[in-house]
Chains A and B, each alone.
Chain A
């Protein structure tokens, strides 16, 4: 059984059909890249997988570990093992990073019938992972993403992923807004997470990220449809020819989703 199976997925946002037939199968241990120009539906696909309200699935199927994902609440998807790294992580002043993450970890553990972690156990869980992502202790006391730079927010997303250890990670334009050093840190964090049991969907506009996170499969999306799939060499081809080389016009059909932020 595949880890993730997306079959002929159609979805709309605000009465506009954005996904118009997506088919992807991710096996355990595989990293799939999803590329495409602005407005091709990449972020919409990520949001639909995470269960964002107002993203309406019109037809098709998504099976996660053989279970129907589309009827699950967002929190249950997370507890089942889906993690989406947001393109625009939300700032929530007043909710501490440590506090939030502990609540999340324990919500997931509770769902899986595992004992909840106390403060000490939680600390020993996160210590090494903080180091990996270059986050110091002061970070844990700050408000969730409050006043974080773009790079810090993305590092925080990957850090959360490292702590929550999902079965499927969906990285939505994790490279956007990162300088080369931050990109390396983030990519290193992601690569550390690669394992035989874990699948990843890496969504990106540029092939730059894929030099660091080398995918097994590359899909190209345009106008809400899959136009091409191939190996990692497809990303290299795109880098040379651009999307135009595949006959795709930039920014054609779907509007960019509203940024998530306050």
Chain B
């Protein structure tokens, strides 16, 4: 009988080396978190196209040529001006920068924060004050049936830890910027963010993931967020990874009573991208606005899986995802909303719209509502289509040339999502980024 080498083996072997390298410096609960996660990963292994949840996203490239992970490696030093393009200019914000997964204190700064607010490197806090993390880490982002979240948890090293105490309001955004520089051999990083908003607190979080060059690497990120009662979080994720990279992310949010969360993700980069967003109304009266935009060209692939769990009554969720797909790109949306038996008076809306700019582009949209309660307002819809020829003709009949008309309409399609961004300098940046990807945009930019 031939001996088969499991595809998970290289990752498991790395884990042994990783554990050895960290030695006994970690508290036992962290070690246990890692080994439990690894066990789950071992059990499930990597998903294949046969898994219903993964039928459109082939992870074979990650599996076949494992990305290197060296826990002792130091982050390459990069000068500050290299990341300027990825910050938000004049925006007054606190900024944490990570290079290849490692905290870069020289590129990071904190502005004045209200008393008791903690914003810092997870790695540092794991070493100096692990008790602050113990009740929270790994409690929101579950690893069962999520092999990439499990891998992240097994190998987690660094990321942002944000803790807003009860009643504190942080007015200025907190920008967590992950930059990657490709290496030889191509490497993986495991960004891990833990965000806790205690009751009646308020914050704005921006996560950015960017590639500084065009080389290959793998980002496997997890962000877990607990939002307390009557707390208010605005969350943004900007994904501008290298187009030779793989980006897999798991975002998990738990909402308390009467809390308000808006979460918007913008996927412009990455070669193969898979985002899982899971939110849970654990108590009554919460509201969630979940939006997303994926703007793809060439052979980019972006797969968004969202799951909104209405566990308790009187919660509202409004979900809008939009895709703009050019060339041979592929955009996937799979949205599931579960309204559990107890979740009466739920209000849930879900929309996914895809705009195909080329014959070869591919969109797959699977919206879904699963309603077990009986007093519920819910609807969902999805479209895949091209630009409206009537609208193009209307614009042309007023003297606007065809390219500009197409760009204008494409931009208008995206703007519904962009306009919901409350941070002005991020909105302007998004406008620029979207326009720079469309032909004939000079005319439009002038008029804006």
Contact = CB atoms under 8 A, between A and B. Distances in A.
Contacts, number: 92
A51 B395 contact: no
A74 B393 contact: yes
A29 B56 CA distance: 63
B394 A86 contact: yes
Interface in B384-436: 388-391, 393-402, 404, 408-409, 411-416, 419
A89 B388 CA distance: 13
B391 A90 contact: yes
A99 B399 contact: no
Contacts of A228: none
Size band of the interface chain B makes with A: 20 to 34
Nearest to A261: B390
Given A90-B394, A262-B388, A107 B401 contact: yes
B2 interface: no
A144 to B, nearest CB: 8
Nearest to B393: A52
Contact of A75 (B399, B447, B448): B399
B443 interface: yes
A93 B412 contact: yes
A86 B390 CA distance: 11
Nearest to A170: B397
B402 A260 contact: no
Contacts of B402: 73, 75
Contacts of B419: 94
B444 interface: yes
A154 interface: no
Contacts of B416: 93-94
Interface in A31-86: 50-53, 73-75, 77-79, 83-84, 86
Interface in B142-185: none
Interface of A: 50-53, 73-75, 77-79, 83-84, 86, 89-90, 92-95, 99-104, 106-108, 111, 116, 143, 160, 164, 260-262
Contacts of B389: 53
A77 B402 CA distance: 13
Given A75-B402, A78-B398, A90-B388, A102 B412 contact: no
10 contacts: A50-B397, A52-B393, A73-B396, A78-B397, A78-B398, A83-B398, A107-B399, A108-B399, A111-B399, A262-B391
Contacts of A53: 389, 393
Nearest to A262: B388
* A74, A79, A101, A164 interface centre (most CB from chain B within 10 Å): A74
A262 B413 CA distance: 13
Contacts of A111: 399
Contacts of B404: 103, 107
A261 B391 CA distance: 8
B442 to A, nearest CB: 12
A246 to B, nearest CB: 32
A78 B397 CA distance: 6
Q: Identify whether the interface residues of B are mostly helix, strand, loop, or mixed.
A: helix
B328 to A, nearest CB: 26
Contacts of B447: 99, 102-103, 106
A107 B394 contact: no
Interface of B: 388-391, 393-402, 404, 408-409, 411-416, 419, 443-444, 446-448
A6 B232 CA distance: 65
Given A92-B391, A95-B412, 17 more contacts: A50-B397, A51-B397, A73-B402, A77-B397, A78-B398, A79-B399, A84-B397, A89-B394, A90-B391, A93-B416, A94-B411, A94-B419, A100-B395, A104-B398, A107-B404, A160-B398, A262-B390
A133 B89 CA distance: 42
Contacts of B395: 92, 100, 104
A260 B397 contact: no
Contacts of A104: 395, 398-400
A146 to B, nearest CB: 10
Contacts of B391: 90, 92, 262
Contacts of B399: 75, 78-79, 104, 107-108, 111, 164
Nearest to B388: A262
* Nearest 5 interchain pairs by C-beta: A94-B412, A78-B399, A104-B398, A74-B396, A107-B399
A261 B388 CA distance: 9
* A84, A89, A103, A107 interface centre (most CB from chain B within 10 Å): A103
Contacts of B408: 95, 100, 103
A164 B398 CA distance: 8
A52 B390 CA distance: 9
A93 B397 CA distance: 18
A93 B408 CA distance: 11
Contacts of B400: 75, 103-104, 107
A78 B396 CA distance: 8
Contacts of B398: 78, 83, 100-101, 104, 107, 160, 164
A101 B413 CA distance: 18
A50 B394 CA distance: 10
A41 B149 CA distance: 63
A43 B95 CA distance: 59
A147 to B, nearest CB: 14
B415 A260 contact: no
Contacts of A52: 393, 397
Nearest to A260: B390
Contact of B415 (A79, A86, A94): A94
* B393, B394, B404 interface centre (most CB from chain A within 10 Å): B394
Contacts of B401: 73, 75, 107
A95 B409 CA distance: 7
Contacts of A75: 396-397, 399-402
Nearest to A79: B399
A231 to B, nearest CB: 31
A80 B399 CA distance: 9
A217 to B, nearest CB: 24
